């Protein structure tokens, strides 16, 4: 949520066509319990008298509010600030908020000092609770830390992961690579007692979550999660400069920009029998598929991951020709 308005009247929402702050705490895209907590947070922030960040004036402190909810109604709250100046004031006001809303178990402050369209900065301070939010999808425990990636729609994410596991269930797979693995959702769902898994993700927080899940599941000996850039990792493997086991399938779940030419070239050089591609941007997916000429589409399915918007997730299973 973007923090708008003034220190005396905070709004969590968007700007109207006339440039006025409009609260969207009651947006029906959010679960009812989340709507209630968002409204309470909007009121609570107003009592703090901390100015929202003004882009034109380059002044103010509060930039964004990030709120995550798991399936049992526990919340993780993150406040993105321009500096650490307002943290003492926020910390002093937390007891009153948490007394009224004990379901908010984790609170942290992220410092994003740059005047740019960047959601978060490198510094994260834990203000309350433990840095773990547990979500169980299809019986598999997955974790989120303040800076880790997690699917925004867990109900559809369950179907997405279950579909991936079903498609791979009958394939002759011994070793899985999961690139852009995030918290390990795809890889851990597709893992079986006969398979091993290597997960690659540039965000160390997400890798910590994946390892936490693997440990809880007793799968430490079956997985190898690394905090690395996926493009650098595949480049080394394409040049036979990495000793990790060759994959029978590579799972890729890149950001909206897609894989790009260099990574597609690496995948073709590594030449696994199968590629499972999960995309939130069909335009970049189409471009990448053209750059994977040694593969044909075996199965494809669309998932309405972002209801009431023009965005969606597409899952594609590619088989080597």
Q: So which residues are the catalytic ones?
A: 280
b/e for 267-279, b at 16 or more Cβ within 10 A? bbebebebbbbbb
Q: Return all residues near 252 (Cβ < 8 A) that are at least 6 apart.
A: 179, 180, 230, 259, 267, 275, 276, 277, 278
Q: What is the overall mean pLDDT for the chain?
A: 94
Q: Return all residues near 248 (Cβ < 8 A) that are at least 6 apart.
A: 171, 172, 173, 174, 175, 176, 272, 273, 274
Q: Does domain 2-128 have CATH number 2.40.50.1070?
A: yes
Query: Are residues 189 and 210 in contact, defined by beta-carbon separation less than 8 angstroms?
Result: no
> What is the location of CATH 2.40.50.1070 in the chain?
2-128
pLDDT in tens, the chain (321 residues): 999 999 999 999 999 999 999 999 999 888 899 999 999 999 999 999 999 999 889 999 999 999 999 999 999 999 999 999 999 999 999 999 999 999 999 999 999 999 988 899 999 999 999 999 999 999 999 999 887 778 888 899 999 999 999 999 999 999 999 999 999 999 999 999 999 999 999 999 999 999 999 999 999 999 999 999 998 888 887 677 666 778 999 999 999 999 999 999 999 999 999 999 999 999 999 999 999 999 999 999 999 998 888 999 999 999 999
d(Cα 267, Cα 234) in Å, to the nearest integer?
7
Which candidate, 278, 280, 277, places its Cα nearest to that of 319?
A: 277
Give the tens place of pLDDT for each residue, 174-225. Answer: 999 999 999 999 999 999 999 999 999 999 999 999 999 999 999 999 999 9
> What is the location of CATH 3.40.50.150 in the chain?
135-320
Query: Are residues 86 and 61 in contact, defined by beta-carbon separation less than 8 angstroms?
Result: yes
Cα 67 to Cα 91, 92, 121, 187: the distances in Å are 17, 20, 17, 25
CATH assignment, 135-320: 3.40.50.150
d(Cα 39, Cα 20) in Å, to the nearest integer?
18
Neighbours of 214 (CB within 10 A): 23
119's tokens: 């959601």
Which candidate, 151, 146, 218, 156, places its Cα nearest to that of 184?
A: 151
d(Cα 13, Cα 31) in Å, to the nearest integer?
16
b/e for 144-158, b at 16 or more Cβ within 10 A? bbbbbbbbebbebbb
């Amino acid at each position: 949520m973007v923090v708008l308005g003034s220190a005396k009247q905070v709004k969590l929402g968007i700007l109207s066509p006339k440039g006025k702050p409009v609260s969207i705490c009651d947006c029906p895209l959010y679960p009812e319990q989340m709507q209630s907590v968002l409204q309470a947070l909007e009121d609570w922030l107003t009592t703090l008298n901390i100015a929202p960040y003004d882009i034109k004036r380059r002044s103010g402190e509060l930039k964004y509010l990030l709120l995550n909810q798991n399936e049992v109604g526990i919340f993780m709250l993150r406040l993105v600030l321009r500096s650490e100046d307002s943290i003492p004031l926020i910390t002093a006001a937390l007891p009153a908020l948490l007394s009224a809303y004990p379901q908010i178990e984790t609170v942290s402050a992220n410092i994003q000092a740059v005047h740019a369209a960047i959601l978060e900065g490198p510094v994260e301070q834990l203000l309350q609770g433990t840095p773990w939010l547990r979500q169980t999808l299809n019986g598999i425990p997955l974790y989120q830390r303040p800076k880790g990636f997690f699917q925004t729609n867990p109900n559809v994410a369950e179907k997405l992961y279950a579909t991936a596991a079903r498609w791979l269930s009958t394939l002759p797979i011994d070793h899985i690579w999961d690139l852009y693995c995030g918290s390990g959702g795809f890889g851990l769902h597709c893992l079986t007692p006969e398979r091993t898994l290597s997960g690659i993700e540039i965000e160390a927080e997400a890798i910590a979550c994946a390892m936490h899940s693997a440990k809880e599941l007793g799968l430490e000996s079956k997985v190898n999660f690394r905090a690395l850039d996926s493009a650098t990792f595949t480049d080394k493997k394409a040049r036979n400069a990495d000793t990790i086991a060759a994959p029978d399938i590579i799972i890729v779940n890149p950001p909206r920009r897609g894989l790009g030419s260099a990574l597609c070239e690496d995948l073709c050089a590594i030449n696994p029998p199968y590629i499972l591609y999960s995309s939130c941007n069909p335009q970049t997916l189409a471009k990448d598929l053209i750059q994977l000429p040694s593969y044909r589409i075996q199965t494809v399915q669309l998932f309405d991951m972002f209801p009431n918007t023009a965005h969606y997730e597409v899952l594609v299973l590619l088989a080597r020709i």
